[in-house]
Structure 1
């Protein structure tokens, strides 16, 4: 339903309005919003916007003030109104441009994070290829990769997990290794590991699936469930990884332990040895949690991925006995109620994807918002802790249109990296 803006008594606080103008043709930060303040109302009334559409279904307007007068007539009044309109519009444009500058900075940081993620994947691919021909070189390259991320973490107490939206991903083994390493190091930092143990944790996470090199590709890439012999062979990959790690000759024992135990569980239900309790080291407990999370999100070799929200929920409600409770709680605290990669609908009906959390407010993460009126390379990146709206619900990708999937650059695989810098303003 639309209302003419000149009917002032009918346009009031609580109404949800749509402005039929391009985003850069008006001074408001969005083209659809609920009028929440007197300033917003007065600005709308004074600006020369013609007609404003009102969505009555999403409005809860204040009672109409029937005593309100129409605009007074007269040249002096007209001049005053013109000056007020100009002042209001200039003020609003100043606010909007300031927020656009913040958006550009957020996007710059996001692009830098994606660039570093790709560089890390490339280095992981390179060092894995050197394992047989030059194992000492491979170990040195791995230490360089891990040390760089540890430097970022130890230099910045506010580093958080960042979604890296990559439309197409190949060689998923390397993406998985970087995901697990990034998540493990963030948890290790939160669990107050010292620098040396962070380095060992990162190396263990990076090499944890080393043994998959000995699993036939027809098993790893099989579509559908494995049969019993196939699964039994796959479950030997931690042992194979230990054998390969020992041939390298330079990997510390703590790293080899992670490689051999990353599928073991606290309750003894894991593999290959069914270890439990105190038999599992502190580093192993961290890698086993983040490895399981990433496998749930991105799908194991014979399974289909869950949404980040589903993955966290499954681990906490169904599999809690398998994991160190302190580590699992730290994972959930650092991924939030809506982990990065979760697609959400906001209270104003906009669709967005969570890109990182706000540590001080897990219900209001940072999101990238779909908008048909804004080019995708300029998409809004909002810190919901600074916005009036909030998340209404999480969505499955199957509920989205192809346009939204393309705009948000969503893929079947999630990639995570560490974003350093102040958490606020991302």
Structure 2
């Protein structure tokens, strides 16, 4: 089916002739336009204006799926190898970027550009998820379909990128944290499936379940959600714990599948039986729920409600492995360590040359040699050098340090966001050093 769609030669319509009812394709990367999908039927004149504002002179359209036809169209060339892309996918030339340049200066410039691109994609996904959640109870069927498509777009925008960036942005406050947390858990969970023999359908189910895992919090009052958990009274703690039960009930009302419901209901269960709501042991927890349980636990350590209690990624992973190992599926925990490396993204480290740096991206093949952002007070942060320790073999990481130990200026330079940012190099083969 995908090959058949790619072989179709759709005609083009000039941007000036766009109108509601046309089913169009946007041949731009997902993060470069404001729409949920790369292909859809234009619903309003406002969407026409947004499409025209993209600056594209023409758009492909599907006459069969359109409710109207333009006054004139442009026939596509007869032979267009690899075009058009499958509906909803990025064009071939942009879906898999070329490997980074070997020239150090150019490599750093390309790296920064990719970080910026995926940064935009993450913020866009957060905005879409926020709007979808608002419509979830009013238009459940349509909204769930759009969430499924969002998962597919996230796979394209994040998982297929040679250098993948997972951002949990701290500039946006006032309730948005829940959307960033859901996205973070969803994308990191799907990343772990690469080494866990998940089928594409299982990965999709996992991604959707992870996006919705905290849906039950919609039923918990804000006065409880916004309170520091350390200050909860026992009734407040018990009320918040009911979000798994609330999520299951809401999920059934929305018509979610059994496997997605299991993720929502079991994402606080632990392998040793110490979790809730039912204290299930490992063999009774579904595989997708085991993945989400682990990733949810990790992200809550790095990004708690009280940010003063936040662990560094290095501390969080070390804590989980050394002191909470029995709570998780061993194979999934090992896969997470392989993905995150010895020094997970976001870790603050001192180098053998006494420089201070933040780990930017993991090198799965050489976990002790990630890319790091150097602190250089003589340069603005946007111009700070990024050091690839795989290339700069004379420099090593000495140790990880807590951000609280840094002078305020250094901390602000390296960690300007309230929340942790994760970077992953999805192009390198997994291995060990």
Fold similarity call, TM over 0.5:
yes
1:351 matched to 2:356: yes
- Residues 360 and 252 of structure 1: CA distance in aligned 2, closer, same or farther (over 3 Å): same
CA distance in 2, matches of 1:323, 1:342: 23
1:97-246 aligned at under 5 Å gives the runs: 98-151=103-156, 155=160, 162=165, 164=167, 166-170=169-173, 171-223=176-228, 224-246=230-252
CA distance in 1, matches of 2:388, 2:378: 20
Residue from 387, 406, 411 that aligns with 2:417: 411
CA distance in 2, matches of 1:165, 1:197: 25
Contact 1:225 / 1:302 at 8 angstroms: preserved in 2?
no
User: What is the CA distance between 1:100 and its match in structure 2?
Assistant: 1.7
Q: Which stretch shifts more, 389-398 or 413-422? A: 413-422
Bigger radius of gyration: 1
Q: Structure 1: give runs of 5+ residues left out of the alignment.
A: 1-96
1:401 matched to 2:407: yes
1:254-273 aligned at under 5 Å gives the runs: 254-273=259-278
1:262-320 CA distance string (max 9 Å, x none): 00111111001111132111111111000000001111579822111111111111111
Contact 1:184 / 1:290 at 8 angstroms: preserved in 2?
yes
CA distance in 1, matches of 2:353, 2:417: 25
User: What is the CA distance between 1:103 and its match in structure 2?
Assistant: 1.0
1:286-305 aligned at under 5 Å gives the runs: 286-300=291-305, 304-305=309-310
TM-score normalised by the chain length of structure 1: 0.72
TM-score normalised by the chain length of structure 2: 0.71
- Taking only aligned residues, the RMSD between alpha carbons, in angstroms, comes to 2.3
- Residues 377 and 334 of structure 1: CA distance in aligned 2, closer, same or farther (over 3 Å): same
CA distance in 2, matches of 1:416, 1:284: 22
User: What is the CA distance between 1:403 and its match in structure 2?
Assistant: 2.1
Residue from 319, 322, 331 that aligns with 1:317: 322
Contact 1:204 / 1:256 at 8 angstroms: preserved in 2?
yes
User: What is the CA distance between 1:248 and its match in structure 2?
Assistant: 1.2
CA distance in 1, matches of 2:268, 2:308: 16
- Residues 234 and 383 of structure 1: CA distance in aligned 2, closer, same or farther (over 3 Å): same
Contact 2:166 / 2:187 at 8 angstroms: preserved in 1?
no
User: What is the CA distance between 1:225 and its match in structure 2?
Assistant: 2.3
Contact 2:362 / 2:425 at 8 angstroms: preserved in 1?
no
